[in-house]
Structure 1
């Protein structure tokens, strides 16, 4: 069980992260300083330095936490179960869990993925989706033996996933987690029936 001191330190750390995110979203990462973070969080700079060396370490730490949690949720997705749910016209709970993750961390994701956040974060997100989820799906396809096909399919699908995430982040007040999960299901359902539409 955490001590009172540890609980207080964790609370301060979360406050620093929250105010940092708000500043990045409002002013852009380049314009954020330790002083601005400390002033907004009502702490002195010495307290900030007890937790982070500088704003770059804070940004990296925040990204690693987000990526680790996302990776954990993606790992629970099993392709066969996902395809079965799609075939049975049912929502797949692990997909809902990913949208729940996005909703819970909307402010941080919007700030970091935004025009004035960290351009490299989008690539890191794509890597997580590509290496964990899409590789499992793509390697089932006969064409997966071709490195060029696999690389371009990764690029195509991860860009599509990121596009859906960013669109929702811009309009997350308009759709709930459940509504987004249904839209995602409709997108997958449309793609799976695309060949039938073309052949009509």
Structure 2
């Protein structure tokens, strides 16, 4: 990274942090570009050099938060993705507790920005963030269950939208219910039927 790129990155990071600080004080719809610039110590022209709208900044901030979370689990993620083809079918579930609990804790700890994304889904491209889940986890699981390729997008929509709905409701309740309870609910909803139901 050259000096110019580093300066651009550091300025963007300051604006990400400024947005997070402001979200601790008020809802997104009441935050202005002027306030973000003041908090970050930049001028309006710098803001518009980086973003067209506050929604663009929220998207970037969500991506930054997601990267922080993903950086906690690089080795475990490789292990999960690497052995997907060799695991028993009954062990193939959309989520496991070892990933679900930290994921939910992370959402709880960053609930203001996640809630902002849920409240403004159209302008914040919230659904594009689930591409890796669909490609690396859901896709291989559905393939192992021999779900026809034409059906896969519908299965993926069902699972992803279901998890999103549970998390949205939890956020609506200000994440007051215990993480373990939400994990139990998600697990019971996404675990496929076991082989004993098949003839």
TM interval, shorter chain, is: 0.5 to 0.7
Residue 186 of structure 1, CA deviation: 3.1
Equivalent positions of 1:4-19 (< 5 A) are 12-13=14-15, 15-19=17-21
Residue 133 (structure 1) aligns with: 137
Superposition RMSD in Å = 4.2
Residue 35 of structure 1, CA deviation: 0.9
Length-normalised TM-score, structure 2:
0.65
Equivalent positions of 1:75-154 (< 5 A) are 76=77, 78=80, 80=87, 83-84=90-91, 92-114=97-119, 116=120, 118-143=122-147, 146-154=148-156
Residue 139 of structure 1, CA deviation: 1.4
> Closer, same or farther in 2 for the Cα pair 1:172/1:20, shift >3 Å?
closer
Determine the C-alpha separation between the residues in 2 that align with 1:97 and 1:160: 19
Residue 34 (structure 2) aligns with: 35
Residue 70 of structure 1, CA deviation: 5.6
Q: Which runs of 5 or more structure 2 residues have no equivalent in the other structure? A: 1-6
> Closer, same or farther in 2 for the Cα pair 1:136/1:11, shift >3 Å?
closer
Query: Does structure 1 retain, via aligned residues, the 8 Å contact 2:37–2:47?
Result: no
> Closer, same or farther in 2 for the Cα pair 1:179/1:119, shift >3 Å?
same
Residue 16 of structure 1, CA deviation: 0.9
Length-normalised TM-score, structure 1:
0.65
Q: Which runs of 5 or more structure 1 residues have no equivalent in the other structure? A: 1-5
Equivalent positions of 1:171-182 (< 5 A) are 171-182=173-184
Residue 109 of structure 1, CA deviation: 0.7
Query: Does structure 1 retain, via aligned residues, the 8 Å contact 2:89–2:145?
Result: no
Residue 58 of structure 1, CA deviation: 2.2
Higher helix share: 1
Q: Deviations over 1:105-145 (max 9, x none)?
A: 2111100121x4654433113323212321121111222xx
Q: Deviations over 1:119-172 (max 9, x none)?
A: 4433113323212321121111222xx331112211222111211221111124
